[in-house]
Amino acid sequence: MDFRDGVRRALADQRLQDAYGKATGRFQRGRLKAFEEFPEGEALRDLARRIKAATIGELDRYLLKLSESGGPHRGGGWGAADAAEARRIVLELAARYGARRVVKSKSMTTEEIDLNEALEDAGIDTVETDLGEYIIQLAGETPSHIIAPAIHKTRDEVADLFVEKLGSPRLDRHEDLTHEARRHLREAFRRADLGITGVNFAVAETGTVAVVENEGNARFVSTLPRVHVAVMGMEKVVPDLASLAVFLKILARSATGQKASSYVSLISGPRRDGEEDGPEAFHLVVLDNGRSRMLADPELREALYCIRCGACLNACPVYRHAGGHSYGWVYSGPIGSVLAPSLADHASAAELPFASSLCGACREVCPVRIDLPRLLLAQRRQVVEAPVSERRRRPAKRGERLLVRAFAWVAASELRYRWASRLGYWLARPMARGGWWRPPFFGGWTRRRDLPAPAKKTFRQRWTEKD
Ligand code: SF4
């Protein structure tokens, strides 16, 4: 979907606006409270950033260590250069084990590679087992938030969906809907021969993968079927268990405001002799899919620090109004807009870095302090400077180009800048706080928000008077 069309549609849908406003507001308040009650949180964010910077700086070494550290009990490790290769590997594994029924836990990496479609096309029955993912799978939609895929759905819509797709009676309470989903999912777990999970972190030192969740479904997915396949982006590696502990402390607080996630599964391989639980075989698929390009680019490398907590989405005024589906691919919000031109291959990808006011709210909340505004600017510059043959973004409109040139001309001279500030002041006064006047090109800007009254004196005047 074209981003602008998606935004227009989302803005016209008051129900959607309410759903996003409510859910992101709840997440934001939860995050704020969690860090207020956690004095060491800020220092841990600094430490987490240092760990990420060091690990991403030597990613090849840590990936090699990860591949060597599992020991003989570990199943296969697979490197996938792109989405097509990752799909092929998973399909080959399914064929090798004769798997006809797959259960999955929530994994944005498998969404990134369109794994469900590939499995279904191969005739493999595939069931998402995270409640939000299950809902959107039934609805035939894609996730609209990194950690809350069905954030855009109301309880009534879910109730209607269950009536239509599951043949359930009309259920009105959250508990009843959850119970109904659980009833169907238990059956899917029981019948599945292959389970697929994502990976939140992979510990290089021990070869352990950590899967973080709140529902317990990933634990079923990784233990009940005969085979477990975990799919991870190559940036998910952390050096050791001590580093893992740092990330676990800030991930849940940033994502949902919880002190800790309900379930953290540490998986180091299949069931060993004498053990009762676990799969017979375990395979780890490590996905590149454009990440090496970002790694090689000193301007963009920082984007690989992301631990997919979703906090930047909740803080972003653009995401909160545009909604996840407007972005047209799996990762939305500020981090999605940074990743899109490098990882995504769809028409809107190059537009997305421009979908930001650069207010900096995302940088404030990011647990690993990723400088998202700087990354968005870097992506914008790279998109604009790309050779014409490679450009996927439509060129700026004539009016937009003229406006930027006019600003550059004004800003290049102190005198012109000073006079323009005064002029802006006199133009903005009648517009402010629902005033009567709208300049011809800025009507859209004030249609949905107030323009605050300008200060009586410009910054430059106050600065001069200060002396
Ligand atoms: S960029 Fe930061 S805030 Fe956004 S999802 Fe990644 S880790 Fe979370």
As for ligand 1, residues whose beta carbon falls within 6 Å of it are 146, 306-312, 335, 365-368, 370
What's phi and psi for 77, nearest 5 deg? -115, 135
Question: pLDDT value at position 456?
Answer: 78
Task: Say which residue the tokens 């498998």 belong to.
Answer: 110
Mutation pick for ligand 1 pocket among 254, 337, 339 (CB with most ligand atoms within 8 Å): 254
For residue 195, the cross-strand partners are 103, 228
DSSP 7-20: HHHHHT-HHHHHHH
What does the pLDDT read at residue 436? 64
> What is the atom index within ligand 1 of the atom nearest the CA of 309?
8
pTM to 2 decimal places: 0.88
Let me know: does 46 contact 365? Beta carbons within 8 Å.
no
100 by DSSP, 3-state: which? coil
Name the strand (E) or helix (H) holding 116. helix 115-121
Of the residues 32, 56, 309, 319, which should be mutated to test ligand 1's pocket, given the most ligand atoms within 8 Å of the CB?
309
The rounded Å distance from CA 308 to ligand 1 centre is 5
Q: Which of 169, 164, 110, 104 has its CA nearest to residue 140? A: 164
Which atom of ligand 1 is found nearest the CA of 308? 5
Q: In this structure, are strands 101-104 and 77-80 parallel, antiparallel, or unpaired?
A: unpaired
Query: Which residue's C-alpha comes closest to atom 2 of ligand 1?
Result: 366
Q: In what order do the strands lie in the sheet with 208-213?
A: 237-238, 201-203, 208-213, 263-267
Number of C-beta neighbours around residue 299 at 10 A: 14
Structure tokens at 390: 């490679």
Maximum pairwise Cα distance, the chain: 82
- The residue to mutate among 46, 304, 370, having the most atoms of ligand 1 within 8 angstroms of its beta carbon, is 370
C-alpha span between 398 and 395 (Å, rounded)? 9
- What spacing in Å lies between the alpha carbon of 311 and ligand 1's midpoint? 6
* DSSP for residue 330: S
Compute, in angstroms, the gap from residue 244 CA to the centroid of ligand 1.
17
For atom 3 of ligand 1, which residue has the closest CA?
366
Closest ligand 1 atom number to CA of residue 146: 5
Amino acid at 401: R
Strands annotated E in 302-374: none
* 3-state SS string for 36-66: HCCCCHHHHHHHHHHHHHHHHHCHHHHHHHH
Ligand 1 atom at shortest distance from the alpha carbon of 333: 4
C-alpha 149 to ligand 1 mean position (Å): 16
Query: Separation of 121 CA from ligand 1 center, angstroms?
Result: 33
Q: pLDDT tens digits for the chain (467 residues)?
A: 689 899 999 999 999 999 999 999 999 999 999 999 999 999 999 999 999 999 999 999 999 999 988 654 466 778 999 999 999 999 999 999 999 999 999 999 999 999 999 999 999 999 999 999 999 999 999 999 999 999 999 999 999 999 999 999 999 899 999 999 999 999 999 999 999 999 999 999 999 999 999 999 999 999 999 999 999 999 999 999 999 999 999 999 999 999 999 999 999 889 988 888 899 999 999 999 999 999 999 999 999 999 999 999 999 999 999 999 999 989 999 999 999 988 877 767 888 999 999 999 999 999 999 999 999 999 999 888 877 656 556 666 788 788 889 999 999 999 999 888 888 878 777 766 666 666 666 666 666 666 777 787 878 888 888 87
Instruction: Tell me 257's DSSP state.
Output: S
pLDDT at residue 460, as a whole number: 80
**Shortest-distance Cα residue to atom 4 of ligand 1:** 312
Angle between helices 3-11 and 14-36 (to 10 degrees): 90
Q: Whose CA is nearest to atom 8 of ligand 1?
A: 309
Q: How far is the CA of 309 from the centre of ligand 1 (A)?
A: 5
Q: Could you tell me the distance, in angstroms and rounded to a whole number, from the CA of residue 365 to the centre of ligand 1?
A: 8
> Which atom, in ligand 1's list, is nearest to the CA of 338?
1
Rounded distance from Cα 111 to ligand 1 centre (Å) = 18
CA distance 241 to 348: 39
Which among 46, 368, 369 is the best mutation to test ligand 1's pocket, defined by most ligand atoms within 8 Å of the CB? 368
Contact assessment for residue 241 and residue 208, using Cβ atoms and an 8 Å cutoff: yes
Ligand 1 center to 232 CA (angstroms): 17
**What's the gap in Å between 220 CA and the centre of ligand 1?**
27
Q: Among 308, 318, 371, say which to mutate for ligand 1: greatest number of ligand atoms within 8 Å of CB.
A: 308
Ligand 1 centroid to residue 126 C-alpha, Å: 29
CA of 41 to the centre of ligand 1 (A): 16
User: How many contiguous H segments (helices) and E segments (strands) does the chain have?
Assistant: 22, 10
The alpha carbon of 46 and the centre of ligand 1 are apart by a number of angstroms equal to: 14
The residue nearest atom 6 of ligand 1, judged by CA position, is 306
Pocket test for ligand 1, best of 212, 305, 307 (most atoms within 8 A of CB): 307
